[in-house]
């Protein structure tokens, strides 16, 4: 069963471009049949060939193939024209007859457009899980298993992915996934420096070294600016620059009213920006509520933990210590889940017109939740617990659990001398940057893999049982299938694989990007606490890059290619984190660099004005440096950008030359006879007088006469030089006098 | 002489489009004649008509007129094609034959391009004061005196300029001047609110009111964001959006080496960005030197002033008080002049490729100087003198001039009890925002006007004297001129006016913009000191708008229209000033809001940490508010922008429809006969078996066979629905069991 690998190339997928998963579970058979018929007709109308095969669990698999060359070519051509009109392409596309998809991702993207776009822009209008297509569960391309295995094997041997590797990812999975891997690769490459530097600092200066903090901030600025340029470079290389301008309306968009456009004459749905702004104001209470809800959980668990681990001396301490951890792991995901669903609802309510705008707004909201859950615990330790512990901690014993009931009188005197645990901060940072990363990796890659495998084995086991009863009932004519919905012998293996793929989750690149941004945040915000943070991340990200690819290939459906020219709102997030990092780094270094073991823990030892002055200078220095780095980086054009500019320049030049060429030829024809033939006789008073008489006879007005005094440029030159000469003569006479 | 106004319209200017001022002073007559000949030939070649007339003081006036319709049309067409290729125009320009300049400024701009652009982009390549055209002093159009007077009279009667007024300015003087007036107008309109609010605050709370400071900052943010949108709106209205993309190389650009471009095959001059960056590093010592040099002068004069006015009690105090003012007025302009010339040299050395980049860099450098000279005095008073005076002032008496020599012993004890003058800050702010503005107005508008008038009268007086001797020598045949270079009777008045105009300065819009930005700076930075600042500016700017127009019309040559889509680097300056304003306002309010008369002057009374915390919160609140305002404002599209977008959309739609229309027709033709004709007989086991035999006979591979099982979408639908039905039947049977 496992042997006999599929043939190379597209053949292993039986030329199938897309698979549409159609579910008929729960629905009445008649309605489902009608919907299926409509689906197939729509596909046929748009020029796609379809084959229906049974799937698993009340699913049908509709295999789609762009077999009609002309329809595909037309779709490609249309997409390119659209790109060209939006300025994504610099050159007008060639003729329709020669329009061929250049990459696999372009082919898949265009077929996906053919399937999903509304009819008026040239698609079949099939919208999975939406509107009349509620039974269409998914539309997905099939994995190219041979290539995938090749890449995985190749990458596990090398440190850096080459540009060609990134191009291949992009060719297989589209630009948005390509950008994620390119980002991960750039980030990984850039981490080498802080990892080496951090390690040296850790050896030489230990934690909280000023120089490490400064270099780390600077590195962050340079990395972000570098990535911006890299993004631009890639978007030129992948020809997706400005692709966000080609936007399709969100299907869920609900216009408030229909307005007839005065210019285009179309009626279009309008949702006033003011109404949206009012709805967006709900974000403020939402952010506050999130902060309070999550903050309260975190702060409470934190307080309980400190109380139990450092004050409490009663019975069961060994077990009670785990209470806050259990509480945290139970409450935070629950609360986050609730908040994310609230955020999604809010976002739906804000009713964005385009998917890009919707995603950006949702990203922003989710980032608020992530920011709190990820960084608040460390913030609490660094800026509340350590400086103010001796003030706050005595109040933690609100239930008076500590002293009275359990402790004998002679011990009572020792309780109040509470000392803070200066190692706590470092331990926490190490937890978040090493342990949590490893746990995250397991949860994200290994767990789904195992889960899937078990689910599949369970299914197979169940099927076998049902199958056995079936085989008992019917015959065994296996060479010719007994009816249209049993697998043919030569398709069996293929269909089994497709059914497996149909069963997988959909890949979401945003989650992976978010993970990386949150990771960058730890580096920017807290790495001075423990300079080995970048070393840990370096190792983690080497694995991450491969495991994320593994995840796409093994755990997920193949994603439909989506074009992108940026990693989107996450770029702003990185900039924001780096900025906040300049503040926290300065504060951490100021507060903890005083002695070898950290500050005494007394709030009086930290001078408020000095701390604030440090922050003030650090932040503004950061902003100035960022400005300078931005200005300097702007001077260097990435290779592809220059290339693209030159191309645009060439188009312009050709166009202009064609108009200029026409010009010089007919210019001569027009002017030459008139001007060259002028008699350049001497301009005497006589000729001038003649002119004057001439004009008065013709009755021209002075304005016209003004332009008639000198005939042609030669006469003007003559007049001019005579003025010059006479003036020169005049000055000479004067001089002589 | 003064009566008989010129005829309406262009006639008053004798149809002259441009005047080229050609100087032959100092040069040898032969060389000058040759250059003049070349100039006239070039003009003729490009299709412009020229007439030479004598000017004043060894100048020739070459009148230029685009009389040949075809040349002008071609130039207009070329310019529009260039715009279209750069994306400035959204629609492809119509045919060359119908290309007419739409506005006066377009006509003048295109003729200016014809004169000044290099030959390879279709111009005559005449570059005033540069290269081989050293003798060409100026190229300028002539004022439209009738209209100018009309506008001045009209505007003096109304408060706000209408959009049409701005359009008229743009039509006469081009977009860059248009943008300045539009900015001034928006700023003036926006000042109404802070003027009213400031006046109320002044009545109700006096100086340093928190609410005024907050409102003022918020107003600044909104104003800047509003202006950004306004700018976008105007650039769409005036069709100059993205015009900075159409750039011509700076003539002064010196390439380091010639490089042959691999794609275009052209050799082009290259100046590496790294070299330029290195050269730009010189800005750092320059900025430091400027700060130290100007700072030292200002601080010294300030110290002397305080010493004399508030400590010194010796003789001649009444006169000595003026020393620092005299020193300041003498030293600051001198030092500024030196620094500006250094900045210009630095900028030349940085060797920018385009004029836009050059101007932006120079603006930045000059802004540093302006910032120091304009705001440092107030900074010193507010943040050094008042908080630290009692610490610093005793040291001011370095020369021991005060006590010992002049004061009798009984007075000596009273000297050390120095009290700061809390009113000083307000007085200074009033000086800079009222007195200095009025003085600036006078220096900028009235003085040049009077100077010019006196110079002209002196010239006339002198000419009369020379004229008298001349008339004495020669005859009096005045009806027919005695030689080609004496004015004709009907041109006399016109030529006299042109000679006057040739004598005027060139108008520089950057200086006026800088003045406004510096003014905005006072408002943003220091207005909480004296809430009447906006009232003063409101009045000042009403006058400013008119007087600036008066200045252009009466004191300056008419500027050649320059296209622009923004006020350029000043926009960033405004943003920067507003940001700094959030810091200074917070600091001022914290420091001086404690008591009614300002702080006690003791540095201990101001708590460092509280001050810094105030600043920290104020600044970050400012940044958040700015972010929110930006996000909110981005939602509203200005009218012209929406209009332009719709236009672009229409072009796209038309284009797409033409490809889609072709599509639907030949799609049917291709597919219909093949698919519709399928016999939809029952799919029995027999037909399937037949199919299987068929294929095995033809020897197709399994991949191809996969796509042949279902013929057409109807068969697929049938298969699908039979699967659905059988499944449904299966579940029913199960249920029954």
pLDDT in tens, B41-98: 888 888 888 888 888 878 888 999 887 788 888 888 888 887 877 777 766 677 777 7
Compare all CA atoms of chain A with the CA of B650 and give the residue at the minimum distance.
A264
Confidence tier at A7 by pLDDT (50, 70, 90): very low
* Pick from A60, A263, A659: CB nearest B720: A60
Structure tokens at B118: 């290099």
**Could you tell me if B358 and B217 lie in one domain?**
yes
Q: Report, as an integer, the average pLDDT of A431-455.
A: 87
Residues of B in contact with A652 (CB under 8 A): 82, 85-86
**Could you tell me if B340 and B400 lie in one domain?**
yes
Say yes or no to pLDDT of A684 above 80: no
Say yes or no to pLDDT of B441 above 50: yes
Dist. CA B44–CA B38, nearest whole Å: 10
Beta-bridge partners for A136: A22
Structure tokens at B24: 């032959």
Q: Which of A89-98, A543-552, A598-607, B689-698 has the highest mean pLDDT?
A: A543-552
Dist. CA B320–CA A154, nearest whole Å: 85
> Is there a domain that residue B85 lies in?
yes
Residues of A in contact with B121 (CB under 8 A): 656
Test the B interface: residue of A35, A49, A52, A261 with most B CBs within 10 Å: A52
Predicted confidence at residue A526, as pLDDT, reads 94
Say yes or no to pLDDT of A682 above 50: no
Predicted confidence at residue A596, as pLDDT, reads 54
Say yes or no to pLDDT of B696 above 70: no
We report the CATH number of the domain holding residue B28 as 3.30.70
Confidence tier at A670 by pLDDT (50, 70, 90): very low
* Pick from B481, B675, B725: CB nearest A44: B675
Least trusted range by pLDDT, from A102-116, A696-710, B638-652, B679-693: B679-693
Residues A20-71 pLDDT 10s: 998 887 767 778 888 888 888 888 888 888 888 888 878 888 999 887 788 8
Looking up tokens 């539309």 gives: A139
**Could you tell me if B134 and B77 lie in one domain?**
yes
> Is there a domain that residue B290 lies in?
yes
Query: Does A659 contact B65 at a Cβ distance shorter than 8 Å?
Result: no
Say yes or no to pLDDT of A461 above 80: yes
Query: Does A612 contact B607 at a Cβ distance shorter than 8 Å?
Result: no
Compare all CA atoms of chain A with the CA of B484 and give the residue at the minimum distance.
A719
User: How near does any CA of chain A get to the CA of B685, in Å?
Assistant: 6
Report the domain count for chain A. Answer: 2
Q: Please give the residue range of the domain that contains residue B712.
A: 681-737
Residues of A in contact with B32 (CB under 8 A): 721, 724
Question: Please, what is the average pLDDT of chain B?
Answer: 81
More confident residue, B235 or A728: B235
Residues A296-341 pLDDT 10s: 998 888 888 888 877 777 777 788 888 888 888 888 888 989 999 9
Beta-bridge partners for B249: B354
Query: Does B78 contact A50 at a Cβ distance shorter than 8 Å?
Result: no
Query: Does A651 contact B85 at a Cβ distance shorter than 8 Å?
Result: yes
Confidence tier at A730 by pLDDT (50, 70, 90): low
Query: Does B689 contact A480 at a Cβ distance shorter than 8 Å?
Result: yes
Q: How many CA atoms lie within 13 A of B247 on its CB side?
A: 15
Query: Whole-model pTM?
Result: 0.85
Residues of B in contact with A259 (CB under 8 A): none
Cβ B88 vs Cβ B243: under 8 Å: yes
**Could you tell me if B137 and B160 lie in one domain?**
no
Compare all CA atoms of chain B with the CA of A83 and give the residue at the minimum distance.
B652
Dist. CA B126–CA B113, nearest whole Å: 10
Residues of B in contact with A705 (CB under 8 A): 488, 490
Query: Does A688 contact B62 at a Cβ distance shorter than 8 Å?
Result: no
> Is there a domain that residue B645 lies in?
no
Q: Which of A86, A107, A142 is the last residue in one of the domains?
A: A142
Residues of A in contact with B655 (CB under 8 A): 81, 85
Test the B interface: residue of A361, A619, A720, A732 with most B CBs within 10 Å: A720
Compare all CA atoms of chain B with the CA of A85 and give the residue at the minimum distance.
B652
Dist. CA B532–CA B429, nearest whole Å: 10
**Could you tell me if B133 and B165 lie in one domain?**
no
Residues of A in contact with B11 (CB under 8 A): 701, 703
Q: Which of A142, A168, A203 is the last residue in one of the domains?
A: A142
Distance of alpha carbon A80 from the chain centroid: 23
Residues of A in contact with B273 (CB under 8 A): 635-636
> Is there a domain that residue A387 lies in?
no
Dist. CA B358–CA B410, nearest whole Å: 65
Cβ A174 vs Cβ A565: under 8 Å: no
* Pick from A78, A263, A705: CB nearest B656: A78
User: How near does any CA of chain A get to the CA of B528, in Å?
Assistant: 23
Predicted confidence at residue B690, as pLDDT, reads 60
* CA dihedral over A640, A643, A647, A653, signed as positive or negative: positive
Residues of A in contact with B36 (CB under 8 A): 717, 720-721, 724
Q: Please list the alpha-helical segments (H only) found in B397-481.
A: 403-406, 409-412, 424-430, 436-441, 447-473
**Could you tell me if B185 and B135 lie in one domain?**
no
Question: Sheet containing A136-140: which strands, arranged edge to edge?
Answer: A49-54, A59-65, A18-23, A136-140
**Could you tell me if B380 and B441 lie in one domain?**
yes
Residues of A in contact with B22 (CB under 8 A): 720
Query: Does B725 contact A29 at a Cβ distance shorter than 8 Å?
Result: yes
Q: Report, as an integer, the average pLDDT of A354-368.
A: 88
Q: Report, as an integer, the average pLDDT of B395-424.
A: 59
**Could you tell me if B133 and B215 lie in one domain?**
no
Residues of A in contact with B712 (CB under 8 A): 44
Predicted confidence at residue B677, as pLDDT, reads 38
Predicted confidence at residue A292, as pLDDT, reads 93
**Could you tell me if B131 and B184 lie in one domain?**
no
Dist. CA B307–CA B313, nearest whole Å: 9
* Pick from B483, B703, B724: CB nearest A14: B703
Dist. CA B617–CA B611, nearest whole Å: 10
Query: Does B63 contact A706 at a Cβ distance shorter than 8 Å?
Result: yes
**Could you tell me if B308 and B210 lie in one domain?**
yes
Q: Which residues contact B142 (CB under 8 A, 6 or more apart)?
A: B13, B16, B19, B498, B501, B558
Residues of B in contact with A43 (CB under 8 A): 713
> Is there a domain that residue B433 lies in?
yes
Query: Does A87 contact B87 at a Cβ distance shorter than 8 Å?
Result: yes
> Is there a domain that residue B596 lies in?
yes
| C-alpha dist (Å) from residue A200 to A159, A212, A524, A535 | 22, 9, 18, 11
Query: Does A29 contact B724 at a Cβ distance shorter than 8 Å?
Result: yes
Query: Does B78 contact A656 at a Cβ distance shorter than 8 Å?
Result: yes
Least trusted range by pLDDT, from A559-563, B32-36, B511-515: B32-36
Predicted confidence at residue A399, as pLDDT, reads 65
Say yes or no to pLDDT of A722 above 50: yes
* Pick from B24, B647, B722: CB nearest A724: B24
Helix (H) / strand (E) element for A526: namely: helix A509-526
Residues B530-569 pLDDT 10s: 999 999 999 999 999 999 999 998 889 999 998 888 888 8
| C-alpha dist (Å) from residue B475 to A729, B410, B472, B481 | 20, 88, 8, 11
Compare all CA atoms of chain A with the CA of B480 and give the residue at the minimum distance.
A689
Residues of B in contact with A723 (CB under 8 A): 52, 54, 60, 484-485
Predicted confidence at residue A625, as pLDDT, reads 94
Compare all CA atoms of chain A with the CA of B652 and give the residue at the minimum distance.
A85
Query: Does B612 contact A607 at a Cβ distance shorter than 8 Å?
Result: no
User: How near does any CA of chain B get to the CA of A510, in Å?
Assistant: 22
In terms of DSSP bridges, do strands A18-23 and A59-65 run parallel, antiparallel, or are they unpaired? antiparallel
In percent, the amount of chain A with pLDDT more than 70 equals 82
Residues of B in contact with A580 (CB under 8 A): none
Q: Which of A477-486, A556-565, B697-706 has the highest mean pLDDT?
A: A556-565
Dist. CA A108–CA A48, nearest whole Å: 13
Structure tokens at B630: 């930006």
Least trusted range by pLDDT, from A182-191, B595-604, B615-624: B595-604
Least trusted range by pLDDT, from A43-57, A216-230, B695-709: B695-709
Question: Please, what is the average pLDDT of chain A?
Answer: 81
Predicted confidence at residue B596, as pLDDT, reads 54
What single-letter DSSP state applies at residue B331?
H
Structure tokens at A662: 């026409």
Predicted confidence at residue B462, as pLDDT, reads 82
User: How near does any CA of chain A get to the CA of B387, in Å?
Assistant: 16
Predicted confidence at residue A699, as pLDDT, reads 59
Predicted confidence at residue B671, as pLDDT, reads 43
* Pick from B77, B615, B712: CB nearest A659: B77
> Is there a domain that residue A355 lies in?
no
Least trusted range by pLDDT, from A159-173, B61-75, B178-192: B61-75
Structure tokens at A80: 């390119």
More confident residue, A336 or A244: A336
Q: Contacts by A24-30 with C-beta closer than 8 Å and gap 24+?
A: A24/A58, A24/A59, A24/A60, A24/A135, A24/B724, A24/B727, A25/A57, A25/A58, A25/A59, A26/A58, A27/A135, A29/B721, A29/B724, A29/B725, A29/B727, A29/B728
Q: Report, as an integer, the average pLDDT of B424-439.
A: 89
Predicted confidence at residue B692, as pLDDT, reads 57
Dist. CA B409–CA B471, nearest whole Å: 81
ipTM of the complex: 0.82
> Is there a domain that residue A82 lies in?
yes
CB atoms inside a 10 Å sphere around CB A692:
16
Least trusted range by pLDDT, from B175-189, B227-241, B416-430: B416-430
Query: Does B52 contact A650 at a Cβ distance shorter than 8 Å?
Result: no
Say yes or no to pLDDT of B4 above 60: no
**Could you tell me if B608 and B737 lie in one domain?**
no
Confidence tier at A385 by pLDDT (50, 70, 90): confident
User: How near does any CA of chain A get to the CA of B480, in Å?
Assistant: 7
Residues of A in contact with B15 (CB under 8 A): 703-704, 706-707
Q: Report, as an integer, the average pLDDT of B575-600.
A: 83
Residues of B in contact with A714 (CB under 8 A): 40
**How are the residues of chain A apportioned to helix, strand and coil, as percentages rounded to the nearest 5?**
70, 5, 25
Q: Which of A118, A142, A166 is the last residue in one of the domains?
A: A142
Say yes or no to pLDDT of A413 above 90: no
* Pick from A70, A77, A263: CB nearest B659: A77
Say yes or no to pLDDT of A524 above 90: yes
**Could you tell me if B223 and B244 lie in one domain?**
yes
Compare all CA atoms of chain B with the CA of A74 and give the residue at the minimum distance.
B663
Confidence tier at A672 by pLDDT (50, 70, 90): very low
Q: Report, as an integer, the average pLDDT of B395-402.
A: 67
Compare all CA atoms of chain B with the CA of A725 and give the residue at the minimum distance.
B29
User: How near does any CA of chain A get to the CA of B37, in Å?
Assistant: 5
């Amino acid at each position: 069963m496992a042997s006999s690998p599929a043939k190379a190339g597209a053949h292993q997928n039986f030329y199938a471009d897309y698979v549409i998963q159609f579910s008929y579970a729960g629905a009445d058979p008649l309605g489902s049949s009608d919907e299926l018929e409509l689906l197939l007709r729509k596909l046929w109308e748009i020029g796609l060939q379809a084959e229906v095969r049974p799937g698993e669990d009340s699913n049908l698999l509709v295999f789609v193939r762009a077999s009609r060359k002309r329809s595909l070519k037309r779709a490609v051509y249309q997409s390119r024209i659209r790109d060209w009109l939006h300025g994504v392409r610099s050159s007008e596309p060639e003729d329709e007859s020669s329009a061929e998809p250049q990459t696999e991702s372009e082919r898949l993207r265009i077929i996906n457009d053919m399937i999903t776009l509304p009819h008026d822009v040239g698609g079949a209008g099939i919208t999975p899980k939406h509107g009349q297509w509620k039974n269409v569960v998914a539309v997905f391309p099939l994995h190219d298993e041979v290539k995938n295995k090749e890449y995985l094997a190749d990458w596990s041997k090398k440190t850096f992915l080459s540009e060609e590797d990134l191009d291949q990812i992009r060719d297989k999975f589209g630009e948005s996934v390509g950008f994620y891997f390119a980002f991960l690769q750039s980030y990984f490459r850039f981490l080498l420096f802080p990892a080496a530097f951090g390690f040296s600092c850790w050896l030489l200066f230990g934690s909280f070294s000023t120089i490490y903090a400064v270099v780390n901030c600077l590195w962050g600025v340079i990395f972000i600016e570098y990535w911006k340029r890299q993004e631009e470079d890639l978007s030129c290389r992948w020809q997706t620059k400005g692709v966000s301008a080609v936007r399709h309306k969100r299907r869920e968009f609900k216009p408030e009213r229909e307005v007839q456009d005065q210019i285009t004459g179309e009626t279009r749905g309008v949702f006033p920006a003011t109404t949206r702004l009012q709805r967006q104001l709900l974000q403020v209470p939402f952010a506050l509520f999130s902060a309070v809800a999550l903050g309260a959980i975190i702060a409470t668990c934190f307080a309980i933990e400190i109380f139990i681990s450092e004050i409490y001396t009663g019975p069961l301490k060994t077990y009670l210590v785990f209470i806050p951890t259990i509480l945290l792991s139970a409450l935070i995901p629950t609360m986050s889940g609730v908040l994310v669903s609230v955020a999604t609802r809010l976002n739906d309510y804000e009713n964005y017109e385009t998917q890009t705008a919707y995603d950006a707004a949702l990203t922003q909201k989710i980032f608020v939740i992530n920011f709190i859950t990820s960084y608040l615990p460390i913030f609490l330790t660094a800026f509340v617990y350590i400086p103010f512990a001796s003030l706050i901690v005595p109040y933690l014993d609100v239930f008076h659990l500590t002293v009275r009931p359990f402790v004998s009188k002679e011990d009572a005197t020792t309780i109040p001398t509470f000392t803070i645990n200066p190692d706590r901060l470092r331990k926490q940072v190490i937890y978040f940057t090493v342990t949590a990363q490893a746990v995250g990796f397991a949860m994200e890659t290994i767990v789904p893999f195992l889960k899937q495998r078990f689910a599949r084995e369970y299914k197979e086991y169940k099927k076998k049982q049902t199958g056995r009863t079936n085989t008992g009932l019917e015959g065994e004519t296996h060479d010719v299938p007994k009816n249209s919905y049993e697998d043919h012998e030569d398709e069996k293996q293929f269909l089994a694989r497709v059914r497996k793929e149909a069963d997988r989750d959909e890949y979401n690149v945003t989650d992976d990007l978010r993970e990386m941004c949150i990771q960058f945040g730890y580096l920017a915000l807290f790495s001075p606490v423990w300079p080995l943070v970048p070393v840990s991340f370096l190792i983690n990200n080497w694995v991450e890059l491969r495991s994320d690819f593994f995840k796409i290939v093994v755990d997920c459906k193949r994603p439909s290619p989506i074009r992108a020219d940026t990693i989107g709102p996450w770029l702003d997030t990185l900039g924001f984190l780096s900025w906040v990092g300049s503040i926290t780094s300065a504060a951490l270094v100021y507060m903890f660099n005083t002695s070898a073991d950290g500050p005494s823990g007394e709030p009086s030892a930290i001078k408020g004005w000095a701390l604030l002055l440090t922050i003030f200078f650090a932040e503004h220095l950061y902003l100035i440096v960022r400005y300078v780095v931005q200005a300097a980086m702007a001077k260097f054009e990435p290779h592809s950008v220059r290339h693209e500019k030159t191309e645009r320049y060439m188009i312009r030049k050709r166009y202009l030359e064609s108009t200029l060429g026409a010009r010089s030829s007919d210019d001569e024809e027009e002017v030459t006879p008139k001007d060259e033939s002028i008699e350049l006789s001497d301009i005497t008073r006589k000729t001038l007088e003649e002119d004057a008489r001439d004009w008065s006879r013709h009755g021209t007005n002075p304005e016209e006469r003004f332009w008639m005094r000198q005939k042609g440029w030669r006469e003007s030159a003559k007049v001019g030089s005579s003025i010059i000469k006479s003036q020169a003569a005049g000055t000479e006479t004067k001089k002589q006098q």
